[in-house]
Amino acid sequence: MEFTKSIALHNEALDHIVGGVNSPSRAYKGVGGGTPVYMEKGAGAYFWDVDGNKYIDYLGAYGPIITGHAHPHITAAITKSAENGVLFGTPTALENTFAKMLKEAIPSLEKVRFVNSGTEAVMTTIRVARAYTGREKIIKFAGCYHGHSDIVLVQAGSGPSTLGNPDSAGVTKGTAQEVITVPFNDINAYEEALKIWGDQIAAVLVEPIVGNFGIVEPKPGFLEEVNRLTHESGALVIYDEVITAFRFTYGSAQQLVGVEPDLTALGKVIGGGLPIGAYGGKVEIMEQVAPLGPAYQAGTMAGNPASMSSGIACLEILQQPGIYEKLDQLGHKLEKGILALGKKHTISVTVNRLKGALTVYFTDKTIENYAQAEQTDSVQFGKFFHLMLRQGINLAPSKYEAWFLTIAHTEHDIDKTLEAVDHSFKQMSI
Ligand code: PLP
């Protein structure tokens, strides 16, 4: 495989765009380096790069592309919307239609508000929770990513009794002191944190099914206990469903786990590939938001007709019967195949999968929290990533990311992918 044009474009990008990329996760820092591949066209489950190489795509644009690239129903909706004018700055009927669709799918969303990204959605749920409770601190779980607003770019302290440290330059110590980080799936640590800080906590921020140190499901009873303990202390439960909404089932993660939060942040899939975020929850809490209440949140692009049209079209596709069953079947085949090939080549591999999303960890251990995910073999992952890329399989360049299947993937694509895994594991075991 030749990457001549990608390399030239990247050299050019380095002169103009900081780090050559518009999101750091696109650089190949986490996989031992290399030049990011510049894609030119996507259709269904496939990508073609600027050098003419074809790939089966499992990046899914980090989650949004559940229908496959350039799905005709979504493309038609965006085109029609663009022809009618892309931005009005007035309300449109599309916003009502889409808000009703979200509410029907996720009943805890009694009222919603559209924003432009997952970052904005999460950031605003925190502000609303603070306005509602009159408290300032939040609890989050280690390793969960909630966008790039200051308050969530905070690292764990050394235990539930310590406050966080800034995880990025530019985040103030004062902001970090408002965050307590505890390990996911550890209810004792969570309870301990609440014992110490309970009366100061506005909300706990939860990925109900983790997508950001790989796919990690909650232990039985964990989320129920989080809800109970949080409410006992007078705080709110916020679900960050930016990755999980409409990913595993139409009712989203909260339906799957059977636990309802007070507020929910959404993004990714709900935009069908266009920029979007949304948040919502109980009426009395959402009424904190301007123009009704004192918590300010606004947006020039919020609820724009193109994103609304794309999102509506995407959910219409996901309403069709059999969608999630198909994703599950393909995911199962991929998981089984990877595990069998690990055995064949004596490569230690653990696969965490839920329906059409999975993470391949190079370890023989179970992964239930971030500390365990951190300890998996990064060097092996880096080798695997590059070997797969050279065989036309596009994965996310990080051991912590999920592989996202789309409804456009076929059994044949999985067979081809497993052939590439076979070859990669063989090379890695030499
Ligand atoms: N929350 C979660 C769980 C995410 O995975 C992400 C992005 O990956 C975000 C929030 C931020 O979303 P965005 O990149 O749209 O700002």
Cβ–Cβ under 8 Å, residues 86 and 306:
yes
Q: What is the CA radius of gyration of the chain?
A: 21
Q: Taking residues 65-92, report their average pLDDT.
A: 98
Q: What is the mean pLDDT of residues 318-342?
A: 98
Best mutation site among 59, 141, 146, 215 for ligand 1, i.e. most ligand atoms within 8 A of its Cβ? 146
CA distance 75 to 313: 9
Q: Rounded to the nearest whole angstrom, what is the distance from the C-alpha of residue 243 to the centroid of ligand 1?
A: 7
- Is the CB of 119 within 6 Å of ligand 1? yes
> Which of 246, 268, 307 is the best mutation target for the ligand 1 pocket, counting ligand atoms within 8 Å of the beta carbon and taking the most?
268
pLDDT tens across 81-118, in order?
Answer: 999 999 999 999 999 999 999 999 999 999 999 999 99
User: Does residue 122 line the site of ligand 1, with CB under 6 A?
Assistant: yes
Give CA–CA dist 335/163, Å, rounded.
Answer: 38
Enumerate the domain spans of the chain.
Answer: 4-70+321-428, 72-318
Q: Which amino acid is at 159?
A: G
Residue 165 has what pLDDT? 80
Structure tokens at 411: 């059994």
Buried residues in 67-105 as b, exposed as e (16+ CB within 10 A): bbbebeebeebbeebeeeeeeeeeebebbeebbebbeeb
Cβ pair 277, 304 in contact under 8 A: no
DSSP 274-316: SS-EEEEE-HHHHTTBTTTSSB----SSTT-HHHHHHHHHHHH
Task: Give the β-pairing of 201-206 and 236-241.
Answer: parallel
Give the distance (Å) from ligand 1 centre to CA of residue 277.
9
Range 163-175 average pLDDT: 88
241 lines ligand 1 (CB under 6 A): no
**Is the pLDDT reported for residue 161 higher than 90?**
no
Question: Does pLDDT of 157 surpass 80?
Answer: no
* pTM over 0.90, yes/no: yes
- Atom 9, ligand 1: which residue's CA is nearest? 147
Ligand 1 touching residue 145 (CB < 6 A): yes
Q: State which fold the 4-70+321-428 domain adopts.
A: Aspartate Aminotransferase, domain 1 (3.90.1150)
423 CA to middle of ligand 1, Å? 33
C-alpha dist (Å) from residue 164 to 142, 153, 160, 173, 221: 11, 10, 10, 8, 27
Tell me, using a 6 A CB cutoff, whether residue 124 lines ligand 1. Answer: no
Please state the rounded mean pLDDT for residues 137-155.
94
The pLDDT of residue 329 is 98
- 193: tokens are 């944190």
Mutate to test the pocket of ligand 1, among 21, 115, 122, 205 (most ligand atoms within 8 A of CB): 122
What is the structure's pLDDT at 53?
98
Task: Count CB-CB contacts under 10 A for residue 226.
Answer: 23
Task: For 188-210, write each residue's pLDDT tens digit.
Answer: 999 999 999 999 999 999 999 99
pLDDT on residue 148: 95
Closest by alpha carbon to 310, among 88, 101, 78? 78
Fold classification of 72-318 (topology level): Aspartate Aminotransferase; domain 2 (3.40.640)
DSSP code of residue 177: T
Closest CA to 314 of 66, 47, 58, 112: 66
Q: How confident is the model at residue 159 (pLDDT cuts 50, 70, 90)?
A: low
- The pair of structure tokens assigned to 130 is 């603070």
Q: What is the pLDDT of residue 166?
A: 84
Digit-coded pLDDT (tens) for 241-269:
999 999 999 999 999 999 999 999 999 99
CA distance 357 to 404: 5
Position 158 scores a pLDDT of: 64
Give the percent of the chain with pLDDT over 90: 97
3-state secondary structure of 192: helix
Among candidate residues 137, 140, 268, 399, the one labeled active-site is 268
Catalytic, out of 49, 240, 262, 413: 240
pLDDT of 357-409, one tens digit each?
A: 999 999 999 999 999 999 999 999 999 999 999 999 999 999 999 999 999 99
- Active site annotation includes 240: yes
In 3D space, the residue among 110, 361, 319 whose CA is nearest the CA of residue 213 turns out to be 361
The two tokens of residue 65 are 């592309």
What pLDDT band is residue 140 in, cutting at 50, 70 and 90? very high
pLDDT tens sequence across 220-239: 999 999 999 999 999 999 99
| 312 vs 105: CA distance, rounded Å | 12
- CA-nearest residue for atom 7, ligand 1, is 147
Say how many Å lie between the CA of residue 65 and the centre of ligand 1: 14
Nearest to 122 by CA among 382, 373, 297: 297
pLDDT digits (tens, 9 = 90+) for 259-318: 999 999 999 999 999 999 999 999 999 999 999 999 999 999 999 999 999 999 999 999
CA of 240 to the centre of ligand 1 (A): 9
Whole-number Å distance, alpha carbon 241 to ligand 1 midpoint, is 9
Which token pair is 182?
Answer: 């505890």
What is the average pLDDT value for the chain, to the nearest integer?
Answer: 97
Q: Is the CB of 240 under 6 A from ligand 1?
A: yes
